[in-house]
Amino acid sequence: MSPTQWDLPPELCCRPMAFVALTGLDVVYNAVHRAIWDAFCANRRADRVPISFKVLPGDHEYPKCRTKRTSYEWYIPKGILKTGWMNKHLNLVPALVVLFYELDWDEPQWKEKQSECATKVEIVRTSLQGRNTKVAVVLIQKKTPLPPGEDVVASERAAALCNACDLSGKSLFVLPHTDHLVGYIIRLENAFYEHAQTYYYTEIRRVKSHKEFLNKTTHQLLFVRHQFKIAFFSELKQDTQNALKYYRTAYTLVHELRAHETNMLEIKTMAGFINYKICRLCFQHNTPLDAIAQFRKHIDLCKKKIGSAELAFEHTAWMSKQFQSFGDLFDEAIKLGLTAIQTQNPGFYYQQAAYYAQERKQQAAHLCGHEPSVSYPNPDPLETPTGALDFYGQRPWRQGHQSIDPPDAEKEKTGILALQVKEREVLHSELIIALLSNAVAQFKKYKCPRMKSHLMVQMGEEYYHAKDYTKALKLLDYVMCDYRTERWWSLLTSILSTALRCSYLMAQVKDYITYSLELVGRASTLRDDQKSRIEKNLIKALMNEVPEAEPDCDAPAVKAAQSLWNDRMALAGSNEFTIEVQDYVPFIQCKAKFLFPSFHVDNPVQLHVYLRADCPHPVRFSKLCVSLSNQEYNQYCVVEEPCQAKDILEPSTQENMCLVPGKTRKYIFKFVARTEDVGKKIEITAVDLMLGNENGRCVFLNWRGGGGDAASSHEALQASRSFKRRGRLPEQQVDWDTVSIQASTMIISRVPRMSVHLHHEPPALNNEIYCMMVTIQSHEDTVAKDVKLTAGLKPGQDANLTQTTHVTLTSSEMGEDSHSALLPDISVGDLQPGQKVEKPLYIRCVTTGSRIFLFHVSYAVNTTVQNKEIVCKCHKDETVTIETVVPFEVAVKFVSTKFEHLDRVYVDIPFLLMTDILSASPWPLHLVTSQLQLASTMVAVDQPQSQVELVVLQTGECASECFCLKCPPILNGTSSVASGQYVISWKRKSASENVPVVHTVITLPHVIVESIPLYVHAELPSFGRVRESLPVKYHIQNRTALVQDVEMSVEPSDAFMFSGLKQVRLRILPGTEQEMLYNFYPLMAGYQSLPSLNINLLRFPGISSQLLRRFLPSRIFVKPQGRQVDDTSIAAA
C-alpha cells in the first residue's frame, strides 16, 4: 500500500543517529578509498557507535543556514514543526564533516600538499557557513606511523598543517593504510562520535538559548517546537533519558495550545508524533507499562478532539493510526524480548484500530455520500506550490494560518469537499481487514481462540461489505463450527445470516440450502416470520426457482445475483446435493433405532426411524432410506413416494411423507436377516432423507450412523437429567426426547429347542474310564436335521489338560494313545419331534484336578418368518465341571517275620512286604485283583497270591496284603535293590460290565540288602512260668566260606537262673550251624529280660553282638506260678 496521509513519516519512526559526512573519498575509482568506506559501513552492529555515514563530494553544498534572528519580538510562528526539519538533521546537516587527504609525513612536496589541504578545508568551511558543524581532517598514509613523540618531523609538520587549516590538534587524524584498517577505523569513528556529541550538545544549547526571548502569548507554538527539537537532538546525541524528558514536556505543551477547528489537525498530528516518540523510548527503556500508560493518556486526551464535523472521518482515521502504530511498537518490542500476556498484547490495539477504521468507513459513507455529479474541485485546493506541506498537520489551502477563523470560507469549503471526495476513494474494507488480520495473528499467539473467532467473523463481514463473498464465506464457514460446538446460538444465527446472504448473492445453491436448513432449525434464534420467509425461499430453491432476496442486500448486487440464479436454473445436471448434516443443526431431526440390541434370526429385525421438523411450516419429503452395513437390507428400509408428485406444495394424500412441525413421526421397517449374518452386527451407516424431487432439485440430508446432529447429544443429556414426567401423549405420538439412538444390532441364532441332559457320577477317579451318558431330546415342532454333538474338554483351558484327558465314544478303544480331548461333530442323525437319543461318552483323566467339559449340540431346522421359509441353524451348549480325584492310597512297608519294622533286610533271611490300600473314593471300589511283580533281586518264599481279590472297599476302608519274601545273596556287602511292582486291578463298583478294569501300577520302594557272616536265632517257648524250667536253644549259623571262631557268653540276670555254658569259645565250620542249649529258670513274673547272649566273632571284629542280638528275642513273658487245684478250697467255696 502506498503511504497515506495518516502514516507516520519514516524520519519519525527511525532511530536517530549522528550524521557524519565523509569527503575527499573517491569510492568509485580509488581502491584504497573504497576499502576505507567499506570498513565504515560494513558490519555496523550494535557494538559500533551509532553514526550514519555518508560520502559527499568535497564541494558539497549543505543546506543554507538562515540568518539568526536577533529578536523574537515581532515574530509570529506559522506552525509547530516544519516538515523538512527532522530529515534535515538526520540526512542533510552533518554533525561533523571529515576531509580525507592522502599525505605522508615525508612527502617531498610538503608545502604544496599542505596548502592544497588547507584550501579543501576552506571550501568545506565555506559551504557550512553559519553552522556549528565540526570539520576534521584524516590523512591517509602509506606508512605505519612511529609511536608519538619519536617522529620529530611528523609532529612538526602536524602542527604546521593544523595551523594552515585552522584546526585544533584534536581534529587531525592519521589513517595508515596498512593491515589493521578496521581497527583504525573503529578508533576513528569513536573520535568522530565524540565530535558529533559535542556538536549536538551545542545545538541543544543553542535551541535552549532561544527560550528567554519567547513570550507565552504569541510564541506558544515555539515552545512545543523547541522542546521537540531539543528532544530530537538529544536522541541524535543518544541521550534517550533526556530525550524522553523533553518529549514529555513537549507533549504537555502541545495540549496546552489553544485548540480550535483550524489547527486541531496540526495539534493532533504533533501530539501523535510526540506520543509515538515517548512510547517508543519507553519500550526501548524496557518500561512497557509507562508506554501503555502514556498511550492511554494520549487516547483519553485526544479522543474527543474531533475537529471539523464535516471531516470526522479524519479523526477516526487518525485514531485508528494511533492504535495501529502503538500495536506495531508493542509488537516490535515483543520481538526484541518483551513478554506480553493474554490480556495485554498488541492484538487489542490492532483490534481497536480496526474498530476506528470501521467507524471511519461509516462516517465516510455518511459524510461523503455526494451526488455522483459532484466532482473534484478545480483548481485542486490540496495542491501546494512545493508539492508538499511546510508544516506538519496543516491544510494545504491555508498554510501557516494560525488564527481561529479560516481566512476564506469559500476556499475552506472546496478544501473540505476535496478531502471528502478523496476519502470516497479510500478502500476502507482493505484497511479494516488488514488490521483485523493483524489482530487475529496476535490473539492466536496469546491463546484467545474466541477473540480470534470473533475477529474472523468481523473480517468475514467486512469481506461481505467489500463484496468479496467467496472470502467472506470461507472465513465465516471456518468459525461457524466453533460457535456451534460452544452452543452460542445467537452468535451462530448472526453468522449464518451473513453467510446466507453471501451464498444467495453468489447463487451457491448448496451453501444456500445448507445455511437455510440451519437458520430454519431449532438452533436459530430468528423470529418465526423470518424463519418462515427462509423456509419459503428454501422450498423455492428446491423447486429450482429463484429465491427471494435476503433483506439488507444492496440492490445492484441482488440484481446480479438474480441473473446468476437464473443461469443456475438453466444448468441441468448439478441439481442433486448431499448435505452431511450431523455437523449442523438442521431443521429436520432424525433418530434411528433398532428395537433391540439383538435379534434372533427367526425373528424379523425391526428398525424405527423417527423424524421431526422444527421449521414453522410443514415440510414434505420424497424419500427416506436407511443404509445398513450389509447393503442387501437397504431395499427393505425405504419410504418413497409411489408416484411422482406434480407439485411439492400440493396437499398430498401421502400424509406419511409430510412432517408437521413439532410432531414426531415414526417410520417402521422390518426385514428378515439372512442366516449367513448370524453372529454378525448390523449397523446403520447412514440415514438419507430426500427433499425436493427429480423435477426440481434433490437435496439429500445425510445423517451418519443412527442420526443426531451437532446439538442432539447435549439435548439428549439434558433430557436424561430432567426428571420432568411428561404426560402420556396421545396414541401414535412419541416424546422426542425419550427416543434414543440404537445404531447397531446383533443377529443371533435362533433359540434352540433341544435339551441336553448329562447322567454321570462325579467326581471322576484318576485313570478311571469315566462314563457320561448324554441324552439329547428334541422339543422342536419339525424334524431337527443333521444333529451333531461335539463333546469333550472345553477348548481354551490349560494346554496340559488336553494331554491328560482322553475322550472316546466306546469304552474298549481306551487302550490306544491317539485320543483327542474333544470329539467334534459326532453325527447323531435326524431327530423327530420329541425323539430322544442317548450317547455314552467315556472320559479318562490321567491327572487330578478340575476340567470343564463341553457338550455342544448343533442342528438345522426349517422355520417360517414372515411367510419366508428359512433354514435356521441352532445350537445348544451344555457345560459341566468335573473334578478328578485319586481313588485310593497305597502304603508299602517291609517288616521282619516278627512284624518288626525293617530299615534293611538280610540276605536269605525271610521278611514280609505289607501293602495297605486305603480307599479315597466317594464311591465303592471293586478290587478285582492284585499282583506282585517281583524284581529279580527278590524272590517269594511261597507262591504269592492276591489276598484282596474281589474285595469291595467303601470310602475310608483299607485293604491290606502281606507277602513273605527274601533276598538271594548279593555280590557286595550292602546294596540298595529294587523290589518290583505292585499292580492293583480295580473298577468302580457301579461300573457296568463292559467298562474295562483299570490297572494301577505301584512301584515298590527300593530296599537295602545286607549280607551277614553269622546268623543267630533262638528257639524258645512263647512264655515261661515262675520256677519252672524254660529250655532255650540258640542256633548259630556260619554263613561264610570260612571257619569261624566264636566266643560266646551269657550274662547273668536277676530274673533268671540258668544252666548251660556260661562262656564258651567254639569253632563253626563253613555252612554249618551250632546249637547251644540253655535251661532258664525264671524267678519273677511279668515281662522279663532274658539273660543276654554275647557273641564275638574273632575274624570279624566289626560284627558286634549288638547286631546279632537283633535276631534274638530280648524278653519273655513269665507267668506266675499256678496254684494247685485245691479240692478243699473248692469245697469251702
Partner 1 sequence: MAVCIAVIAKENYPLYIRSVPTENELKFHYTVHTSLDVVEEKISAVGKALVDQRELYLGLLYPTEDYKVYGYVTNSKVKFVIVVDSSNTSLRDNEIRSMFRKLHNSFTDVMCNPFYNPGDPIQSKAFDSMVSAMMVQAC
Question: Does residue 448 interact with partner 1 by CB under 8 A?
Answer: yes
Nearer to partner 1, 487 or 1110 (CB): 487
Q: Which residues ranging from 166 to 225 are in contact with partner 1 (CB under 8 A)?
A: none
Helix, strand, or coil here: 744? Answer: strand
- Read off the C-alpha cell for 647: 407439485
Output the CA torsion sign for 84, 86, 87, 91. positive
Question: Does residue 348 interact with partner 1 by CB under 8 A?
Answer: yes
- Read off the C-alpha cell for 970: 548279593
Question: Does residue 1028 interact with partner 1 by CB under 8 A?
Answer: no
Nearer to partner 1, 348 or 923 (CB): 348
Of 277-285, 341-349, 575-583, 685-693: span binding partner 1 (CB under 8 A): 341-349
Rounded to a whole number of angstroms, the minimum distance from the CB of residue 723 to partner 1 is 7
3-state secondary structure 780-837: CCCCEEEEEEEEEECCCCCHHHHHCEEEECCHHHHHCCCCCCEEEEEEEEEECCCCEE
Is 661:613 a contact under the CB 8 Å cutoff? yes
Nearer to partner 1, 450 or 1027 (CB): 450
Question: Does residue 735 interact with partner 1 by CB under 8 A?
Answer: no
Dist CA 830 CA 785 (whole Å): 4
Q: Residues near 112 by Cβ (< 8 Å), separated by ≥ 6?
A: none
Please name which of 1033, 1076, 1078 lies closest in space to residue 1060, comparing C-alpha atoms.
1078
Dist CA 822 CA 833 (whole Å): 28
Question: Does residue 722 interact with partner 1 by CB under 8 A?
Answer: yes
Rounded to a whole number of angstroms, the minimum distance from the CB of residue 597 to partner 1 is 28
Of 30-38, 342-350, 412-420, 998-1006: span binding partner 1 (CB under 8 A): 342-350
Q: Of residues 10, 407, 449, 973, which one binds partner 1 by CB under 8 A?
A: 449
Nearer to partner 1, 103 or 291 (CB): 291
Nearer to partner 1, 74 or 723 (CB): 723
Edge-to-edge order in the sheet of strand 925-934: 951-953, 925-934, 980-988, 998-1003
Numbers of helices and strands, H then E, in the chain:
24, 46
Question: Does residue 738 interact with partner 1 by CB under 8 A?
Answer: no
> With 0-12 CB in 10 A as exposed, 13-18 as middle and 19+ as buried, what is 1115?
exposed
Dist CA 748 CA 596 (whole Å): 12
Nearer to partner 1, 299 or 826 (CB): 299
Rounded to a whole number of angstroms, the minimum distance from the CB of residue 352 to partner 1 is 6
Concatenate the DSSP letters of all residues of 245-271 into one string.
Answer: HHHHHHHHHHHHS---TTTHHHHHHHH
Rounded to a whole number of angstroms, the minimum distance from the CB of residue 344 to partner 1 is 8
Rounded to a whole number of angstroms, the minimum distance from the CB of residue 8 to partner 1 is 21
Dist CA 705 CA 750 (whole Å): 27
CA distances in angstroms from 542 to 313, 501, 576, 644, 659, listed in the order given: 46, 17, 10, 15, 16
Encoded one letter per residue, x for contact with partner 1 by CB under 8 A and - for no contact, window 83-112 reads ------------------------------
Edge-to-edge order in the sheet of strand 1093-1097: 1063-1068, 1044-1050, 1093-1097
Rounded to a whole number of angstroms, the minimum distance from the CB of residue 641 to partner 1 is 39
Tell me the pairing of strands 51-55 and 18-23.
Answer: parallel
Q: Of residues 81, 418, 419, 451, which one binds partner 1 by CB under 8 A?
A: 451
Q: Of residues 40, 100, 318, 355, which one binds partner 1 by CB under 8 A?
A: 355
Nearer to partner 1, 448 or 609 (CB): 448
Encoded one letter per residue, x for contact with partner 1 by CB under 8 A and - for no contact, window 480-509 reads ------xxx-xx--x---------------
Of 11-19, 445-453, 581-589, 925-933: span binding partner 1 (CB under 8 A): 445-453
Nearer to partner 1, 299 or 885 (CB): 299
Nearer to partner 1, 494 or 929 (CB): 494
Nearer to partner 1, 352 or 745 (CB): 352
Helix, strand, or coil here: 1077? Answer: strand
> With 0-12 CB in 10 A as exposed, 13-18 as middle and 19+ as buried, what is 435?
buried
Rounded to a whole number of angstroms, the minimum distance from the CB of residue 487 to partner 1 is 3
Rounded to a whole number of angstroms, the minimum distance from the CB of residue 607 to partner 1 is 31
Nearer to partner 1, 43 or 713 (CB): 713
Is 1111:1065 a contact under the CB 8 Å cutoff? no
Rounded to a whole number of angstroms, the minimum distance from the CB of residue 351 to partner 1 is 8
Dist CA 985 CA 198 (whole Å): 129
Rounded to a whole number of angstroms, the minimum distance from the CB of residue 550 to partner 1 is 17
Rounded to a whole number of angstroms, the minimum distance from the CB of residue 717 to partner 1 is 7
Helix, strand, or coil here: 283? Answer: helix
**Residues belonging to the chain:** 1133
Is 970:906 a contact under the CB 8 Å cutoff? no
Q: Which residues ranging from 452 to 481 are in contact with partner 1 (CB under 8 A)?
A: 454, 457
Question: Does residue 1120 interact with partner 1 by CB under 8 A?
Answer: no
Helix, strand, or coil here: 142? Answer: coil
Q: Which residues ranging from 1075 to 1114 are in contact with partner 1 (CB under 8 A)?
A: none
Of 55-63, 340-348, 368-376, 1011-1019: span binding partner 1 (CB under 8 A): 340-348
Question: Does residue 342 interact with partner 1 by CB under 8 A?
Answer: yes
Rounded to a whole number of angstroms, the minimum distance from the CB of residue 485 to partner 1 is 9
Rounded to a whole number of angstroms, the minimum distance from the CB of residue 272 to partner 1 is 17
Encoded one letter per residue, x for contact with partner 1 by CB under 8 A and - for no contact, window 279-318 reads --------------------x-------------------
Is 706:593 a contact under the CB 8 Å cutoff? yes
Nearer to partner 1, 448 or 502 (CB): 448
Nearer to partner 1, 134 or 454 (CB): 454
What are the phi and psi torsion angles at 470 (to 5°)? -60, -50
Nearer to partner 1, 53 or 350 (CB): 350
Q: How many CB atoms lie within 10 A of CB 1057?
A: 15
Rounded to a whole number of angstroms, the minimum distance from the CB of residue 13 to partner 1 is 24
Binding residues for partner 1, how many (CB under 8 A)? 26
What are the phi and psi torsion angles at 1072 (to 5°)? -105, 170
Q: Of residues 66, 335, 724, 725, which one binds partner 1 by CB under 8 A?
A: 724
873 - beta bridge partners? Answer: 860
Q: Which residues ranging from 692 to 721 are in contact with partner 1 (CB under 8 A)?
A: 714, 717-718, 721
Question: Does residue 447 interact with partner 1 by CB under 8 A?
Answer: yes
Dist CA 416 CA 412 (whole Å): 6
Cis, peptide link before residue 63, omega less than 30° from 0? no
Nearer to partner 1, 736 or 1078 (CB): 736
Question: Does residue 813 interact with partner 1 by CB under 8 A?
Answer: no
Dist CA 139 CA 101 (whole Å): 5
Rounded to a whole number of angstroms, the minimum distance from the CB of residue 362 to partner 1 is 14
Nearer to partner 1, 165 or 451 (CB): 451
Rounded to a whole number of angstroms, the minimum distance from the CB of residue 294 to partner 1 is 16
List residues binding partner 1 (CB under 8 A). Answer: 299, 342-343, 348, 352, 355, 447-451, 454, 457, 486-488, 490-491, 494, 714, 717-718, 721-724
